A and B are shown apart, each in its own frame.
Chain A
Amino acid sequence: MAVVQFDRDRMAKRYVSLNRDLDPGIQRILYLPKHASDREIRLLVVNELLAEMTDDMFEPVVFRFNVGSEAEHKLLVLDVSPSQWEEIDRGTLSLPRGWTLEEAVDFAPEPAR
């Protein structure tokens, strides 16, 4: 039987596409691979339709997929408003522990045609 190798970057792009296809409020998505484990996908999603929540709610939502299989992985998504993104970018709002913008892959909006 062929063994399917898990490709984290490719899977991250699939989640980015899923978000872009389904959610009209998304402004940009950052994929943050640095310091994440090989099977952990961290996405920071900037959404203009997001109602800001209290600080204790500022944490990623976690999903696990295909546990026990070759494709096992974890998806962590941190949804932020545009103003929260500005604060993060300025360094006045901290990302969750262990997260960093270093080496971020920025899936900015596609230019209008």
Chain B
Amino acid sequence: MNSHQEIRWEQARSDLHVFNLLREAGVEPCHQLHYLQMIAEKLAKAYLWRSGSPPPRKHAGFVNFLRGLGLVENERRAVLASALGFRTFVQLHHWIRAATPLAHELERLAPALAGDGPNPEYPWPHDAPANYPARYEFSFWNRLVGTTPGRRFLKVIEVAVDRFPIYA
């Protein structure tokens, strides 16, 4: 892990800590989703810094992170799969395929990408707000709670942060 990665990973760890406090407190899903977004983004940027060059600033980090995991060199596959809690790289690959639509959806919730639609931070639509996040039922949240891929998504993000130094 280089120093650029370490800085971003440390911030992702701190965000994960707050995320777990929010989960423990059972606060409105919008706040939990906001932190989940930040964790995913920082984890992705930490990983993508492994080349030594800065990753793009745009919100597409976590999907690229998943793609990068799927393309890892053969000799690192077993270590990566094990670090993320999978028995084999093939099983990790299956998970990546299941998780990628969720990653896209999480990224699209960011205010910059959500347009005038639901996002976890600000009321919408911008010019005539009629909804606000704290009282909105996010379909993405329902998928995190109500599907096996959603729950697994949460679990893998958590271990991906905790065990980042193993596969960075």
Contacts of A53 in B (CB 8 A): 85-87, 91, 152, 155
Looking at B5-13, B20-28, B67-75, B113-121, the stretch in contact with chain A turns out to be B20-28
Question: Which bucket holds chain A's interface residue count?
Answer: 20 to 34
Q: A49 CB to closest chain B CB, in angstroms? A: 7
Contact of B146 with A by CB under 8 A: yes
Within the complex, which residue of A19, A51, A52 is in contact with B147, where a contact is CB–CB below 8 Å?
A19
Contact of B92 with A by CB under 8 A: yes
Asked if B146 and A79 sit within 8 Å, CB to CB, the answer is no
Asked if A22 and B143 sit within 8 Å, CB to CB, the answer is yes
Asked if B92 and A51 sit within 8 Å, CB to CB, the answer is yes
Interface string of A61-99 (1 = CB under 8 A from B): 111111100001001010100000000000000000000
Q: A20 CB to closest chain B CB, in angstroms? A: 9
Contact of A4 with B by CB under 8 A: no
Interface string of B86-97 (1 = CB under 8 A from A): 110001101100
Contact of A107 with B by CB under 8 A: no
In the assembled complex, the Cα of A30 lies from the Cα of B149 at a distance in Å of: 18
Interface string of B44-57 (1 = CB under 8 A from A): 00000000000000
- A19 closest partner in B (C-beta): B146
Asked if B91 and A52 sit within 8 Å, CB to CB, the answer is yes
Asked if A49 and B98 sit within 8 Å, CB to CB, the answer is yes
In the assembled complex, the Cα of A107 lies from the Cα of B85 at a distance in Å of: 28
Asked if B26 and A61 sit within 8 Å, CB to CB, the answer is no
Contact of B166 with A by CB under 8 A: no
In the assembled complex, the Cα of A56 lies from the Cα of B147 at a distance in Å of: 21
Contact of A45 with B by CB under 8 A: yes
Within the complex, which residue of B26, B91, B146, B151 is in contact with A18, where a contact is CB–CB below 8 Å?
B146
Asked if A52 and B87 sit within 8 Å, CB to CB, the answer is yes
In the assembled complex, the Cα of A22 lies from the Cα of B140 at a distance in Å of: 11
In the assembled complex, the Cα of A19 lies from the Cα of B142 at a distance in Å of: 9
Contacts of A21 in B (CB 8 A): 146
A-B contact pairs, 18 of them (CB 8 A): A18-B142, A18-B145, A19-B146, A21-B146, A22-B146, A49-B149, A51-B98, A52-B86, A53-B86, A53-B87, A54-B82, A54-B85, A54-B86, A57-B85, A64-B24, A67-B27, A79-B148, A79-B151
